[in-house]
Amino acid sequence: MIIYRAMKVNPSIFRAYDIRGRYPEELSEEVVSYIARAYLKLYPHVKTLVLAYDTRPSSPLLAQAIRDVFVVSGKNVIDLGLAPDPLFYFTLLHHKYDGGIMVSGSHNIGSFNGLSMSVKRKGDDFAYDVIAKELDSIQDLVNKEEMITQASILGKVKKRDATDEYMKHVSSRVYLERQLSVIIDSGNGAMGFLPEKIFESLGCRVKTLYGEYDGTFPNHPPDPYQEENLKDLKEAVVKEGADIGLAYDADGDRVAIIDNKGRVVSGDFAMLMLAYQAIKKHKGPVVHDVRVSKAFLDEMRKLKVPTYFSVSHHNAVIRKIEEVGAVFGGEITLHFIFPKEYYPVDDALFASLKLAEIVSFKKDFAKYVDALPHYQASPELFIEVSDDVKFGLVSKLVIHLKKEGYSIIDVDGARIQLKKGWALVRAANTSPHIKCRFEGDTKEDLEEIEREFLVLFKNFGVPITQEHYDELGL
pLDDT bucket at 203, cuts 50 / 70 / 90: very high
Q: Let me know: does 438 contact 446? Beta carbons within 8 Å.
A: yes
3-state secondary structure of 408: strand
Q: Let me know: does 327 contact 354? Beta carbons within 8 Å.
A: no
Judge residue 379's burial from the number of C-beta atoms within 10 Å of its C-beta, 0-12 exposed, 13-18 middle, 19 or more buried. middle
Residue 272, Cβ neighbours under 10 Å: how many? 22
Residue type, 291: R
> Which contiguous run of DSSP H or E holds residue 195?
helix 194-201
The pLDDT score that the predictor gives to residue 430 is: 78
Give percent of the chain above pLDDT 70.
Answer: 95
**Greater model confidence, 324 or 4:** 324
Q: Residue 126 sits in a domain of what CATH number?
A: 3.40.120.10
User: Do 261 and 177 reside in the same domain of the chain?
Assistant: yes
Last residue of a domain, one of 344, 370, 396: 370
Measured CA to CA, the distance from residue 451 to residue 292 in angstroms comes to 20
Per-residue pLDDT at 383 exceeds 90: yes
Measured CA to CA, the distance from residue 157 to residue 142 in angstroms comes to 25
Q: Residue 440 sits in a domain of what CATH number?
A: 3.30.310.50
Mean pLDDT of the chain: 94
Last residue of a domain, one of 122, 145, 161: 161
Active-site entry in 106, 118, 186, 310: 106
Per-residue pLDDT at 124 exceeds 80: no
Q: Which domain holds residue 459?
A: 376-471
Residue 304, Cβ neighbours under 10 Å: how many? 8
The pLDDT score that the predictor gives to residue 148 is: 64
The pLDDT score that the predictor gives to residue 429 is: 82
User: Do 355 and 452 reside in the same domain of the chain?
Assistant: no
Measured CA to CA, the distance from residue 308 to residue 247 in angstroms comes to 28
User: Do 225 and 97 reside in the same domain of the chain?
Assistant: no
Q: What is the pLDDT of residues 230-283, one digit of tens each?
A: 999 999 999 999 999 999 999 999 999 999 999 999 999 999 999 999 999 999
> Which contiguous run of DSSP H or E holds residue 76?
strand 76-82
Phi and psi at 118, nearest 5°, equal -125, 155
**Greater model confidence, 17 or 14:** 14
Q: What is the pLDDT of residues 426-443, one digit of tens each?
A: 999 878 899 999 999 999
231-260 as b/e: b if 16+ CB within 10 A: ebbbebbbeeebbbbbbbbbbbbbbbbbbb
The pLDDT score that the predictor gives to residue 247 is: 98
Compute CA distances 27 → 2, 58, 227, 234, whole Å.
23, 10, 29, 35
User: Do 267 and 340 reside in the same domain of the chain?
Assistant: yes
User: Do 220 and 257 reside in the same domain of the chain?
Assistant: yes
Measured CA to CA, the distance from residue 423 to residue 446 in angstroms comes to 9
Q: What is the pLDDT of residues 275-325, one digit of tens each?
A: 999 999 999 999 999 999 999 999 999 999 999 999 998 889 999 999 999
Residue 394, Cβ neighbours under 10 Å: how many? 25
Per-residue pLDDT at 382 exceeds 60: yes
Per-residue pLDDT at 2 exceeds 80: no
Q: Which of 78-87, 187-196, 382-391 has the lowest mean pLDDT?
A: 382-391
Residue 123, Cβ neighbours under 10 Å: how many? 5
User: Do 340 and 395 reside in the same domain of the chain?
Assistant: no
User: Do 393 and 447 reside in the same domain of the chain?
Assistant: yes
Handedness of CA 84, 106, 347, 365 (dihedral sign): negative
User: Do 215 and 332 reside in the same domain of the chain?
Assistant: yes
> pTM of the full predicted structure?
0.94
3-state secondary structure of 157: strand
Handedness of CA 297, 298, 299, 302 (dihedral sign): positive
Measured CA to CA, the distance from residue 128 to residue 134 in angstroms comes to 12
Handedness of CA 14, 94, 328, 254 (dihedral sign): positive
Walk across the sheet containing 181-185 and list its strands: 205-209, 181-185, 244-248, 255-258, 264-265
The pLDDT score that the predictor gives to residue 12 is: 87
Per-residue pLDDT at 126 exceeds 60: no
The pLDDT score that the predictor gives to residue 38 is: 92
3-state secondary structure of 386: coil
Active site residue 106: yes
Measured CA to CA, the distance from residue 176 to residue 14 in angstroms comes to 42
Q: What is the mean pLDDT of residues 121-130?
A: 62
